[in-house]
Structure 1
Amino acid sequence: MTATALIRLAGPLQSWGASAHFDRRDTTSRPTKSGVIGLIAAALGHDRTEPLGPLAELRYGVRADRPGTRIRDYHIVGAGPYPLRPRDLITDPKRAEAAQLAMEHETSPAFGYLTASSVPAWYGAPKEVAPDPHTGALISGNPTGRNGMITTRWYIADAAFVAAVQHKDSGLIDRITHALDHPKRLLWLGRKSCPPTGTIAAGTHAGTIEDTLTAAALLPNHTDPRPWAWIETPPHTPGGHKTNDQPITYHPQRRTHAPRWETRTRITPTARIEWDLIP
């Protein structure tokens, strides 16, 4: 029996990038299918290297009850010291030993510093950041320079969306709903700096995405009584358009997406499905 799971996506910040690079991370105006399927996979406890299996077959739709405001974050990386990462302790035995000694001698004036270096033992360098060869200070990119790297990061502020995933196997939809209520991994709204707030899962409902998004009541503080919705459709549907956010794999070394089709339409909710929101 065809069933649909409703998912509330709300928080101070969201970022749903269709493409991203180290120095520029954009966001679309609404949650992407790839981002929401990734959130579901995390809730189920899947590893990024696992095949998507039936999750790749989910049909997707999203309703923008409160579209939010697009904002830009002025972000600098590479200037100054950085907290030591756990993997630094695992991959660098000398640094791990120095950090351990520093912790054991916390009252010493030299606490936290490596021998013959001004860099604290508990500090490390993130990707693309290297120690200055003359002073030991951590600098970005070019090892002869000292300036931080300015990056551009876009977010959607104060937004609330209702996403929906549909499948002919109602058992799969039930498992998704349960996992969103009891996630096995941390969940975020596109990026790790964007945690969700309040209730996420809104139950399993018989019927299609169109039926369910129409039945679901508007979220609090909605901006339009007839919000826009983007609903997945078969290829070349009249009035539809192509978007490139169908996930193929989330494997870190070969993350891949494919095109899919969707239509944009206005929805007038009937409020047959009420929200049981936990702030």
Structure 2
Amino acid sequence: MTHVLLVRLAAPLQSWGAVSRFSRRDTHSRPTKSAVIGLCAAALGRDRTAPVDDLAQLTFGVRADHPGTPVRDYHSVGAGRYPLRPRDIITDHRRAAAVSASMDTATGPGFGHHELADWYGAPKKISADPVSGALVSGELSRTALITERWYLSDAAFLVGLQHEDQGRLEAIAHALEHPKQLLWLGRKSCPPSGTLAVGILRGTLAEAFATKQLLPHPVQPVSGHRPWAWIQAAPGTPGAAPVNDQPVSFDPGRRIHTTRWETRRRITLAPTASGWEDIIL
């Protein structure tokens, strides 16, 4: 008999990177297995170099109750001037030395002067721009690096983790509600909201997704709403497609993902589908 741990992933912003490179940071339309397994590993307090074989063995599925809206965030890094606070030069000798070398003490205020807060400097790796003389940031002194980052706004997903060992799922559920490390939904700027672990049910992912109502959300679903779900399947399953998000290692020195297979289907909620009040961890 298999059991399914249901995990609620909802927040003002989520970002599930799949092929992010350099200045463009994209987001998948739904949570990836790699990201969710990483979330569970962080909750359990595991180091990035620790094995995740036991977590990677879990069968993964996700139901898009509220897919959310893609939003683009514009970033610029480097160039320009930066406010220099008096406490910066007191606590960081490198900044103090750089500012001291760049300031004209014959015409400008020295350290301790009450007008020091009106001067400008860069937080780190500062140098004088050869054209303007302003203190700017290292190699990016003349040209700002423009980055493009994508998020899902107001999305809500129901993730399912299936396994025969109920005890393993109970340990993950407890960790998600009492995490040993900070948790976020894809990026550090995306903390989760509300309860994460919402229950453990007997059965399969398809059965769990069909027997539980949509997640509570400010936007109430219309009658007859049939959300999409993606459920991990065995290789060769008819209609299954490959996805390159099966985690092998999160070690920064050798981060490895392999291919798994999943099917995509509409979920029709059963007429007797129950809410969350009857789910007990």
TM-score (norm 1): 0.80
**Local SS of the residue matching 2:51:** coil
Q: Does 1:189 align with 2:181?
A: no
Aligned to 1:139: 137
Partner residue of 2:38?
38
Distance in 2 between residues matched to 1:207 and 1:83, nearest whole Å: 58
Matched, 1:151 2:153: no
Root mean square deviation, CA, Å: 3.1
Q: What's the counterpart of residue 237 of structure 1?
A: 237
Amino acid at match of 1:168: E
SS in 2 for 1:21: coil
Amino acid at match of 2:147: T
Q: Which has the larger radius of gyration?
A: 2
Q: Aligned letter for 2:275?
A: E
User: Can you give the 5+ residue segments of structure 2 that lack an aligned partner in the other structure?
Assistant: 85-90, 98-110
Unmatched 5+ stretches in structure 1: 85-91, 99-104
1:243 positional shift? 0.7
Q: Deviations over 1:170-209 (max 9, x none)?
A: 1110001101111111111111111111111102222221
Are 2:121 and 1:119 aligned?
yes
Q: Which residue of 2 aligns with 1:254?
A: 254
Q: 1:147 to 1:212 in 2, by over 3 A?
A: same
Q: Does the aligned pair in 2 maintain the 1:139–1:147 contact within 8 Å?
A: no
Tell me, yes or no, if the aligned pair for 1:189 and 1:196 is still in contact at 8 Å. yes
Aligned to 1:102: none
- TM-score, L = length of structure 2: 0.80
Residues 200-215 of structure 1: pairs in structure 2 closer than 5 A: 200-215=196-211
Is the 2:78–2:140 contact (alpha carbons within 8 Å) kept by the matching residues of 1?
no
Partner Cα distance (1:110, 1:150) in 2: 30
Aligned position for 1:56 = 56
Q: CA deviation at 1:139?
A: 3.4
Post-superposition shift, 1:246?
0.5
Aligned residue-pair number: 255
8 Å CA contact 2:129, 2:136 repeated in 1: no
